[in-house]
């Protein structure tokens, strides 16, 4: 592993100041029905209402806004078919610079449209990780753009941690829980929470079909994701190295939930809270349904990660 600095609370607070006015301070919602189902006192931090539809905009904004003008002018680049691509494109648009996005040619039309809608220049490639990386290298060589990794990046982690700052301004929960994919959100959240309220527990929630963080955490060795398979398409990515280091140090527990429970939890949120969340966002509630004893009578804050669900292809 390479050397890197772990962000501290000052870095996250600086990120908060840097992106203030560009991001939404998203609402905290609760539901009496979900409280009675879980036996807990649950508050949802609704990043599905964040700009570009997901928490990813926080990290992308902070990473873009942190670049020096001389570097910024060449634009930013990433390969992604998901929320990070849209978030980075919007952050670049705000700064008036180019975003270059490498997308697999089979990415859903709705995601292609979203990224193009923010003015990004899209390069399509074959749907393999190798093709994505090779194509991205070519794009960077031709443009001089700076690659912004979706989670294994200091400034992205600081940006994602700002959601937890907003929570702590309002409530001090017993537990804060967020989904784990690449680990950008959970690592930023854990850093922020533990530095503000040491007694608040930080839990990660992972689909059992993509449980590389769970295995890495409890196996004490970094296990890359192999053939992940879950309805929670935002959580298919492999845990990042910096993220793993932070998780090991600051996260208290990681739980998994089955896809069946994730789908059930997603539908509960849609029906009872009247908000649209993508499958990944339902994983923490699914964990609460599968492990009720861990949450009963606790004040739990769950980060709802995004609302970019495909309405033509619902899992229920």
By C-beta, is 226 or 311 nearer to a second copy?
A: 311
Helix axes 212-219, 241-250, angle to 10 degrees: 60
Q: Does 307 contact a second copy by CB under 8 A?
A: yes
- How far is residue 16's CA from residue 98's CA, in Å, rounded to a whole number? 24
CB 204 within 8 A of CB 177: yes
CB 87 within 8 A of CB 56: yes
127: number of Cβ within 10 Å? 13
- How far is residue 17's CA from residue 96's CA, in Å, rounded to a whole number? 20
Q: Does 271 contact a second copy by CB under 8 A?
A: yes
By C-beta, is 118 or 222 nearer to a second copy?
A: 118
Q: Does 311 contact a second copy by CB under 8 A?
A: yes
Q: Does 119 contact a second copy by CB under 8 A?
A: no
Q: Does 184 contact a second copy by CB under 8 A?
A: no
H or E segment at 204? strand 201-207
Q: Does 276 contact a second copy by CB under 8 A?
A: yes
Count of chain residues binding a second copy (CB under 8 A):
20
**Smallest distance from the beta carbon of 81 to a second copy, in angstroms?**
18
CB 140 within 8 A of CB 147: yes
- How far is residue 85's CA from residue 99's CA, in Å, rounded to a whole number? 9
Binding characters for a second copy, 25-64, by CB under 8 A (x = yes): --x-x--x---------------xx-x-x-----------
User: Taking contact as CB under 8 A, which single stretch among the options 55-63, 201-209, 245-253, 265-273 is the one that binds a second copy?
Assistant: 265-273
**Residues making contact with a second copy (CB under 8 A):** 27, 29, 32, 48-49, 51, 53, 267, 270-271, 273-277, 307, 311-312, 314, 316
């Amino acid at each position: 592993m390479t050397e890197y600095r772990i962000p501290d609370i000052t870095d996250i607070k600086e990120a908060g100041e840097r992106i203030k006015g560009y991001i939404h301070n998203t609402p905290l919602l609760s539901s009496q029905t979900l409280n009675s189902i879980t036996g807990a006192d649950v508050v949802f931090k609704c990043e599905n209402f964040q700009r570009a539809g997901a928490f990813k905009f926080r990290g992308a904004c902070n990473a873009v806004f942190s670049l020096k003008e001389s570097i910024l002018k060449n634009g930013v680049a990433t390969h992604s078919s998901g929320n990070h691509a849209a978030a980075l494109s919007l952050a670049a648009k705000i700064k008036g610079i180019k975003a270059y996005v490498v997308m697999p040619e089979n990415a859903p039309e709705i995601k292609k449209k979203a990224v193009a809608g923010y003015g990004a220049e899209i390069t399509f490639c074959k749907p393999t990780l190798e093709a994505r990386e090779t194509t991205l290298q070519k794009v960077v060589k031709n443009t001089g753009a700076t690659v912004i990794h979706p989670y294994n990046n200091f400034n992205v982690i600081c940006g994602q941690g700002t959601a937890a700052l907003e929570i702590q301004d309002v409530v001090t929960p017993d537990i804060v829980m967020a989904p784990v994919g690449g680990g950008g959100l959970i690592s930023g959240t854990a850093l922020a929470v533990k530095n503000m309220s040491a007694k608040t527990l930080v839990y990660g929630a992972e689909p059992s079909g993509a449980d590389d963080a769970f295995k890495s955490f409890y196996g004490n060795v970094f296990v890359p994701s192999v053939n992940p398979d879950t309805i929670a398409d935002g959580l298919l990515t492999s845990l990042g190295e910096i993220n793993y280091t932070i998780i090991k140090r600051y996260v208290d527990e990681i739980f998994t939930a089955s896809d069946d429970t994730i789908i059930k939890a997603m539908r509960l949120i849609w029906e009872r809270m009247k908000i649209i969340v993508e499958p990944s966002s339902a994983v923490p509630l699914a964990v609460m349904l599968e492990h009720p004893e861990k949450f009963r009578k606790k004040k739990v804050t769950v980060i709802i990660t995004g609302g970019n669900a495909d309405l033509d292809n619902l899992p229920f």
